[in-house]
């Protein structure tokens, strides 16, 4: 069998090396060398092709990256607009509720125009757009204004509830406020500190405003008398009652029944004496009425 020898002689005094192999080994070595060379060539060709592909499509990759970032930004904008739409819808609902509450507090009937506008502001009919930022700010400012209006209306309502704007019972005004002929002295006159309202014995007497009962007992002139302090220097009193239904310190609301009318004290018949005092001075109760009662 033929064999081949490869002799390797290094420089200097190093020991020479030799390798022997047969014809079959030679073929295997050549085959391995060819295969290795082919593999390296293929890898080099792949790298060259990949670099060429990347350079050829670099602009497209950049455009795809730009589009992905733009799409992400649009998604964020859509999410922001959606959230803003939800807030706008909530603000519209709150404004509508506040407007109705304020109208109810102030006893104002909403006009047809306001009703149509409110119905047009229904949340489901609102469509957001990119131009809603300014509108959202204006709507938020409007909501804050309505909240201030509501606070002012509640304050006004509280003032109205604590202001004697009604009569304690229905009946004819038998005697006005001011100087009058003394019913117990034929030729004399006296100052009448309130109004006398004619009524049947035992008629329910209602508080003309909300407040605190500061007197509920016997008075030598007004008999069984109730006095209510409404704050802000306003006091009302109810005299000549047959029965008192409240006690000192009790909180009463406008319209509550506080007594039953009668003929107690200095009286000539069943009626109610109703008076109003402001900062210590007697005032004509009819001046506080929403609509003065005809005599």
Q: What is the DSSP string of 58-102?
A: HHHHHHHHHHHHHHHHHHHHHHHHHHHHHHHHHHHHHHHHHHHHH
Model confidence, pTM: 0.54
The backbone region for 80, taken as left when phi is positive above 0, alpha when psi lies in -120 to 50, beta otherwise, is alpha
Count of H-run helices and E-run strands, the chain: 3, 14
Long-range contacts of 95-102 (CB under 8 A, 24+ apart): 95/121, 95/139, 95/142, 95/143, 95/146, 96/121, 98/143, 98/146, 98/147, 98/149, 98/150, 99/146, 101/150, 101/153, 102/146, 102/149, 102/150, 102/153
pLDDT band, very low/low/confident/very high, at 23 (cuts 50, 70, 90): low
Rg (CA), the chain: 50
Instruction: Write the pLDDT tens digit of every residue in 131-163.
Output: 556 677 777 777 788 778 777 777 777 777 888
Instruction: Write the pLDDT tens digit of every residue in 51-110.
Output: 777 777 777 778 888 888 888 888 888 887 778 777 777 777 877 887 787 777 766 766
The answer for residues whose C-beta is within 8 angstroms of residue 151's C-beta and 6 or more apart is none
């Amino acid at each position: 069998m033929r064999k081949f020898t490869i002799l390797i002689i290094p420089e200097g005094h190093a020991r020479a090396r030799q390798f022997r192999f047969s014809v079959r080994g030679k073929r295997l070595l050549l085959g391995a060398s060819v295969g290795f060379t082919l593999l390296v060539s293929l890898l080099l060709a792949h790298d060259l092709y990949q670099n060429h592909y990347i350079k050829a499509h670099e602009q497209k990759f950049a455009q795809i990256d730009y589009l992905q970032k733009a799409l992400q930004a649009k998604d964020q904008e859509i999410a922001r607009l959606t959230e803003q739409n939800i807030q706008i819808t909530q603000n519209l609902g709150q404004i509508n509720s506040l407007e109705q509450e304020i109208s109810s507090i102030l006893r104002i009937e909403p006009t047809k125009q306001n009703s149509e506008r409110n119905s047009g502001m229904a949340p489901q009919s609102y469509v957001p757009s990119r131009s809603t930022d300014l509108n959202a700010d204006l709507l938020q400012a409007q909501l804050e204004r309505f909240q201030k209006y509501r606070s002012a209306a509640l304050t006004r309502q509280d003032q109205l509830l604590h202001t004697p704007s009604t009569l304690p019972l229905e009946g004819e005004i038998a005697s006005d406020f001011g100087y009058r002929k003394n019913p117990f002295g034929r030729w004399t006159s006296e100052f009448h500190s309130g109004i006398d309202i004619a009524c049947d014995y035992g008629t329910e007497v209602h508080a003309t405003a909300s407040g605190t009962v500061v007197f509920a007992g016997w008075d030598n002139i007004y008999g069984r008398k109730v006095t209510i302090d409404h704050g802000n220097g306003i006091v009302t009193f109810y005299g000549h009652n047959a029965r008192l239904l409240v006690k000192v310190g009790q909180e009463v609301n406008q319209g509550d029944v506080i007594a039953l009318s009668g003929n107690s004290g200095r009286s000539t018949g069943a009626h109610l004496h109703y008076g109003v005092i402001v900062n210590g001075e007697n005032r004509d109760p009819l001046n506080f009425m929403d609509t003065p009662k005809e005599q």
